[in-house]
Chains A and B, each alone.
Chain A
Amino acid sequence: MAIIQFHDVYVTSRSAVGGPVEAKGPLAEQFDKCYEDTYCGEDCFEKAERRLLYDASDIALRKAQLQVSDLDVLVGGDLLNQLMSSHYFAKDLQVPFIGMYAACATSSLVIGTAAMWIEHHMASHAMAFTSSHTAAAERQFRFPNEYGIQKKDTTTTTVCGAGAIVLGTKPSNIKVTAFVPGKIVDWNHTDANDMGLAMAPAAYDTLTTYLKESKQKITDFDRIVTGDLSQVGFAFLTDLLTQEQYEIENRLSDCGLMIYDNSKQDVFCGGSGCACSMCVSMSDLLNRLEQGEYHRIMVLATGALLSPVAVQQKGTIPCIAHGIVYERSE
């Protein structure tokens, strides 16, 4: 496995924007902006997702005191077919653009790619972004939003939100130090309503391969945060790690369990989607790193690379997990 180390990549600014359900969640106060309405003032859900993306990027650039023309490259992705949100948003910026898809693991993939551009001095400022919208994703991957089908307990709620991060070479107090691209793990899981369970072995694979190759332990990190395994998948991952005698010592958590209050909010098993790991890392996790509560964390974004067509053709659900290591730089 290739672990890509960075020595000169700093987080210049970051932003997280959420929708109405996220606004009632425990991290709402750390978000830069939250919409009260699922449509975000637009006339359809797809445009609403673009609006979230536009806001996230705008806020990140303002915080960095940069203009669009200062960016050398944009790396982005989302869940919709043909990367609709990213492409229709990026077309207005007139900056070289790389679109990427890794389902809900897109966040780590785009940040890792943007970091490579910075590390090799191919760009002085790069922006990475992802977005997802619960209603737009629901209608593409599952059923129409108002369709009255009884959802399973293991279903996750796609996060309605967007996050953006500006990376640069100018030192700041958060550093991106490694990108751990994962390989696709397919253990012949076929239930598309139980993505947490499907993705946990991919997270396990990327994490344990990284730990073995870099000769590190879970306790070398203040936190290892998986993307969107939800209650079922997270319990499954901890079980797999415990069986193989990894010392967890309460260092693991999951973005999908942090963004909502599962006991009070009606979100089934937790949050998922490209924006889940992005929004949680851009708000809570990097805030804690900046404040010195954490010194070294890994965000292990997990993605179920299913295609609705393949699932109907009785295909399995291939999954992937990409990791990004953030460190506090004094």
Chain B
Amino acid sequence: MNQKKIKDTAKKHAPKSHYVKNEVIAFLSGGALAIAAQFVMMAYQTLLGVDEKTAISMTVVTVILITAILTGLGIYDKFAQVCGAGLFIPISGFANSLTACALEGKSEGLIYGIGSNMFKLAGSVLTYGIASAFVFGMIRFILFGG
């Protein structure tokens, strides 16, 4: 059987992607997470009396902590399967990738296991984050003098 016929037949059997459904769920779940985080931030501001900047940092840390705990309990990936980009794009996605890699490396020890594996997936976010920060920082410095 020739390759063209195989490819044509395969096309018929490839299931349809759920782009629209995934986008709607990601929009709603990501939005819900943002609203929840906003309430947490407001609570920090009113209850603890901290300023906005501190409250933002505290909220980010809270989301990271909750994500790490849920990942450790094996619950996060089930939510992530449903929510997709809704949980992947916010800081929760970053926190999950660190925790998941750290958990996975546990059996290989603290240094070669957890230490070197922890940034296995998040590493590219850091690499390109730092690289682009440098480039745009330089552009800003040259054009506007800092």
Contacts and interface: CB of A to CB of B under 8 A. Distances in A.
A binds B: yes
Nearest to B85: A150
Contacts, number: 91
A244 B5 CA distance: 11
B84 interface: yes
Interface residues of A, number: 33
Interface stretch (A54-62, A69-77, A116-124, A235-243): A235-243
B7 interface: yes
A259 to B, nearest CB: 21
B105 to A, nearest CB: 8
A201 interface: yes
Interface residues of B, number: 37
A201 B72 CA distance: 40
Given A144-B121, A146-B76, A187 B12 contact: no
B15 interface: yes
B90 to A, nearest CB: 11
A220 interface: no
Contacts of B57: none
Contact of B1 (A44, A153, A233, A240): A240
A149 B93 CA distance: 9
Contact of A144 (B9, B72, B79, B103): B103
A149 B71 contact: no
Given A43-B107, A188-B3, A151 B9 contact: no
Given A144-B121, A148-B93, 4 more contacts: A45-B107, A147-B100, A197-B14, A235-B13
Interface of B: 1, 3, 5-7, 9-10, 12-15, 18, 22, 71-72, 74, 76-77, 79-81, 84-85, 87-88, 93, 96-97, 99-101, 103-104, 106-107, 120-121
